[in-house]
Structure 1
Amino acid sequence: MMRPLYDWTIRLSDHPRALWALALVAFIESSVFPIPPDLLMIPMILARPSRAWLIALVAMVASVLGGLLGYAIGAFAFDSIGQPILESLGKGDQMAAFNEKFNDMGFWAVLGAGITPFPYKVITIMSGWTGMPMATFIVTSIIARGIRFFLIAALLWRFGSPIRDFIEKRLGLVFTAFFVLLVGGFLLVKYL
């Protein structure tokens, strides 16, 4: 099932309305779609490097707006829509325990999911379900998705095709390491 979705997403990058397709993929990826918009961004930016910043902006705005849909799913339709989505992602068992601590670390949860390979849609739904303050959710989503999409755009704009393999295979690991170091640094400062 994933391979046809992946192939469909890649084909969209050649479409004359690729920016609209990117906006759609980024929007629905934030609440239900399993393929990240990065896969559409990469060939679009490689084909037209001069549009790298516009492509990143479209992905960021659409992703944050889609995140608001995920938030609404969690807030208003968790039992009928949100819970089955989280269970299909293998996160069903952890919901109750996660809810207790989620809002205490809400900023960090949204930031982490927004820049790392962790499914952002899980955090958007959980943010609505746990009642995270919407302002915190929106601001953190803008920061996280901005970091992710603009860094990809900057790397592709600067290094072009040679960086593609790195982005597709290792950038998630780099984002995760960055996030761990960031949180670790804050914890170190707090407890030392």
Structure 2
Amino acid sequence: MLENMINYVLNYGVWGLVIHSFADAVIFPVPALFTQVSLSLLDPSNALWLATAGFIACLLGTPLGYWIGKGLGHSVMNRMLKKSWVDAASGLIQRNGEAAILIGSFTPIPFKVFTILSGCLNFPLWRLMAYAAIGRAAKFYIVGSLFYIYGRSAEGMVKDVSLYLLAGIVPIVLIIIFIRKRKKRKAEQAASAQDGQQEQLGQEMGS
């Protein structure tokens, strides 16, 4: 059935990719990468335009997936996925929301899992949009660029594009997030120490 649905949207060319990418962020269980690759194979010279259309459609669908999660909560996720998956992804977003969204943008996992979960867990929408834009742009445009440069021979390369992204980009992102959190923790400790000193000074002056 899913194969028939993908073949159906392929008949509409770039608009089929727009529909698939939008649905990928909301409810469709198959990543839009499959439609992007199929259309890029038909016309590699059009690959960057396809990447742009898919990227914009995905971003437009992201808020809808978010509000579905916010409105319907875990009842939706538990019907669509195993409870263990939902619990694991929920824990990851609660601990490191930015990293979870970025990693989810690169992996073959349907992006709706992360948009809906972000809504369930009240993750800030603007942060979801910002990190989704980074991750999805990388995914769409790397695939599009490969087809634009190498033509149909890029088909074999894109099979491992998610692995390359995870191995190359995600560690850098995680390091940046770690450094940022460490600086934030130090700032909070410094502020707490300053408050303690002021409180002690006030007590000494009062006595």
User: What interval of TM-score do these two structures reach, taking the shorter chain for normalisation?
Assistant: 0.7 to 0.9
Of residues 156, 177, 197 in structure 2, which corresponds to 1:165? 156
Of residues 32, 49, 56 in structure 1, which corresponds to 2:27? 32
Which amino acid in structure 1 is aligned with residue 117 of structure 2? Answer: M
Gaps of 5+ in 1: none
Which has more radius of gyration?
2
Contact 1:117 1:172 in 2 (8 A): yes
Alpha-carbon distance between aligned partners in 1 of 2:92 and 2:114, rounded to the nearest angstrom:
13
Flag the 1:105–1:46 CA change in 2: closer, same or farther, 3 A.
same
Q: State how 1:22-61 maps to structure 2 within 5 Å.
A: 22-61=17-56
Alpha-carbon distance between aligned partners in 2 of 1:170 and 1:150, rounded to the nearest angstrom:
15
How far 1:160 sits from its partner (Å)?
A: 1.1
> Quick one: percent identity of the two aligned structures?
25
Flag the 1:116–1:101 CA change in 2: closer, same or farther, 3 A.
closer
Alpha-carbon distance between aligned partners in 1 of 2:58 and 2:22, rounded to the nearest angstrom:
5
Which amino acid in structure 2 is aligned with residue 107 of structure 1? Answer: E
- Tell me the TM-score normalised to structure 1 length: 0.81
Alpha-carbon distance between aligned partners in 1 of 2:33 and 2:49, rounded to the nearest angstrom:
14
Flag the 1:118–1:5 CA change in 2: closer, same or farther, 3 A.
closer
Contact 2:99 2:174 in 1 (8 A): no
- Tell me the TM-score normalised to structure 2 length: 0.76
- Count residues with an aligned counterpart: 181
Gaps of 5+ in 2: 183-207
| Aligned counterpart, 2:2 | 5
Cα RMSD, aligned residues only: 2.5
Q: State how 1:12-161 maps to structure 2 within 5 Å.
A: 12-13=9-10, 15=11, 17-85=12-80, 87=81, 90=82, 92-93=83-84, 95=86, 98-99=89-90, 102-161=93-152
Contact 1:112 1:179 in 2 (8 A): no
How far 1:128 sits from its partner (Å)?
A: 0.5
Stretch deviating more after TM superposition (173-182 or 36-45): 173-182
